A and B are shown apart, each in its own frame.
Chain A
Amino acid sequence: MPDVRPGGKDHIAPTLREAVEDFLYQEAALLDQWRLDEWLALFTADGRYVVPTTDLPEGDPKKELVFIDDDMARLRARVERLKSRHGHREYPWSRTRRFITNIRIKLEGHDVLVTSSFLVYRFRMEDSSPYVGWYEHRLKQVDTELKIHKKRAVLDMEALREHGAVSIIL
Chain B
Amino acid sequence: MVDVKGFVIDNPNEGVFRVHRSAMTSPEILQMEQERVFNKCWLYLCHESEVDNPGDYRRRNVAGRPLFFVRGVDGKVRVFLNTCTHRGALICRRDQGNADVLQCFYHAWTFNNHGELIGVPDEAGYGKGFKRAEMGLKSPPRVESYRGFIFISFNPDVEDLVTYLAGAKDYIDLVVDQAQEGMRMISGSNRYFIKANWKLLVENSLDGYHVKPTHKTYFEYVTSLGVNTGAVQTAFSRPARALGNGHAVEEHDGIRGRPVARWSPLFGEETKEEIARIRARLVQKFGEERTRLMADVSRNLLVYPNLMIIDSIDITVRIFWPITPELMEVTAWQLAPRGEKDELLARRLDNFLTFHGPGGFATPDDVEAIESCQAGYKAEGVQWSELSRGMHREAIAEDELQLRAFWRQWYGHMLGLWKVDTNDPVVRERSVLAS
Which A residues are within 8 Å of any B CB, using their own CB?
51-56, 59, 61-69, 74, 77-78, 80-81, 84, 86-90, 125, 127, 158-167
Collect the chain B residues with CB atoms within 8 Å of residue A68's CB.
353, 359
Cβ–Cβ contact A166 & B358, under 8 A: yes
A165 interface neighbour in B186, B345, B353, B367, Cβ under 8 Å: B367
Nearest-Cβ distance from residue B22 to partner chain A, whole angstroms:
22
Minimum CB–CB distance from A162 to chain B (whole Å) comes to: 7
Tally inter-chain residue pairs, CB-CB below 8 A.
Answer: 123
Question: Given A61-B349, A66-B353, A67-B359, A162 and B364 touching (CB < 8 A)?
Answer: no
B221 touches A164 (CB 8 A): no
Contacts of A64 in B (CB 8 A): 186-188, 349
**Chain B residues near A81 (CB-CB < 8 A):** 217, 220-221, 361
With A and B bound together, what is the CA distance between A89 and B362 in angstroms? Answer: 9
- B residues in contact with A84, CB < 8 Å: 216-217, 220
With a CB–CB cut-off of 8 A, which chain A residues contact B214? 88
A164 touches which of B187, B189, B193, B375 (Cβ 8 Å): B193
Chain A residue contacts of B233, Cβ below 8 A: none
Q: Are B333 and A65 in contact (CB under 8 A)?
A: yes
Q: Chain A interface secondary structure, helix, strand, loop or mixed?
A: loop
Instruction: Give Cα A125 to B186, complex, Å.
Output: 34
CB distance from B328 to the nearest CB of A (A): 10
Chain A neighbourhood of B359, CB < 8 A: 51, 66-68, 165-166
Q: How many residues of B contact A (CB 8 A)?
A: 40
Given known pairs A65-B352, A81-B361, the reply for A164 and B333 (CB within 8 Å) is no
Residues of A within 8 A of B189 (CB): 53, 55-56, 65
Q: A65-B189, A89-B365, A165-B367 are in contact. List 10 more A-B contacts (CB 8 A).
A: A55-B189, A56-B188, A62-B349, A67-B190, A69-B349, A80-B221, A86-B217, A89-B368, A160-B358, A164-B193
Task: Please indicate the chain B residues that have their CB under 8 angstroms from the CB of A69 in the complex.
Answer: 349-350, 353
The contact sample of 7 A-B pairs, CB cut-off 8 A, is: A56-B188, A69-B350, A84-B217, A163-B358, A164-B367, A166-B364, A167-B358
Q: C-beta contact mask, B168-205 vs A, less than 8 Å → 1, else 0? A: 00000000000000000011111111110000000000
Q: Looking at A65, A67, A161, A162, which has the most chain B CB atoms within 10 Å of its CB?
A: A65
In the assembled complex, B269 has its CB within 8 A of some CB on chain A: no
- B191 and A55 contacting across the interface, CB-CB below 8 Å: yes
Of A66, A89, A161, A164, most buried by chain B (CB within 10 Å of CB) is A164
Q: What is the CB-to-nearest-CB distance from B232 to chain A, in angstroms, rounded to a whole number?
A: 15
Write the nearest CB–CB distance from B281 to chain A, whole angstroms: 23
Indicate if B346 sits at the interface (CB-CB under 8 A).
yes
**A167 adjacent to B364 (CB under 8 Å):** yes
Residue ID in chain A nearest B186 by CB atoms: A65
Nearest-neighbor residue (CB-CB) of B331 within chain A: A159
Q: Assess the B188–A160 pair: CB atoms within 8 A.
A: no
- B358 contacts A164, CB within 8 Å? yes
For A77, the chain B residues whose CB sits under 8 A away are 221, 224, 361
Taking A77-B224, A86-B217 as contacts, is the C-beta distance between A165 and B363 under 8 angstroms?
Answer: yes
Asked whether B326 is an interface residue with its Cβ less than 8 Å from the other chain, the reply is no
Contact residue among A51, A59, A74, A163 (Cβ-Cβ distance under 8 Å from B192)? A163
Interface check B357, CB cutoff 8 A: yes
Residues of B within 8 A of A66 (CB): 188, 349, 353, 359
Leading 6 A-B pairs by shortest Cβ distance: A65-B188, A67-B359, A165-B364, A89-B364, A160-B192, A68-B359
- For B95, list chain A residues within 8 Å (CB): 55
- Assess whether B421 is interfacial by the CB under 8 Å rule: no
Counting CB contacts under 8 A, is B420 at the interface?
A: no
Whether, in the assembled complex, B100 has its beta carbon less than 8 Å from a beta carbon of chain A, the answer is no
**Can you name the residue of chain A whose Cβ is closest to the Cβ of B346?**
A62
Identity of the chain A residue whose Cβ is nearest the Cβ of B334 in the assembled complex: A65
Contact status B375-A125, CB under 8 Å: yes
Residues on A with beta carbons closer than 8 Å to the beta carbon of B350: 69
Q: Does B342 lie at the interface of the complex (its beta carbon under 8 Å from any beta carbon of A)?
A: yes
A88→B371 CA distance, assembly (Å)? 11
Establish whether residues B353 and A164, one from each chain, have CB atoms under 8 Å apart when the complex forms: no
Contact assessment for B188 and A165 in the assembled complex, using a CB-CB cutoff below 8 Å: no
| Docked-complex contact B357 and A67, CB < 8 angstroms | yes
Tell me which residues from 313 to 361 in chain B have a Cβ below 8 Å from any Cβ of chain A. Answer: 329, 333-334, 342, 345-346, 349-350, 352-354, 357-359, 361
Q: Does B369 contact A (CB under 8 A)?
A: yes
CB-CB under 8 A from B188, the residues of chain A are 52-53, 55-56, 59, 64-66
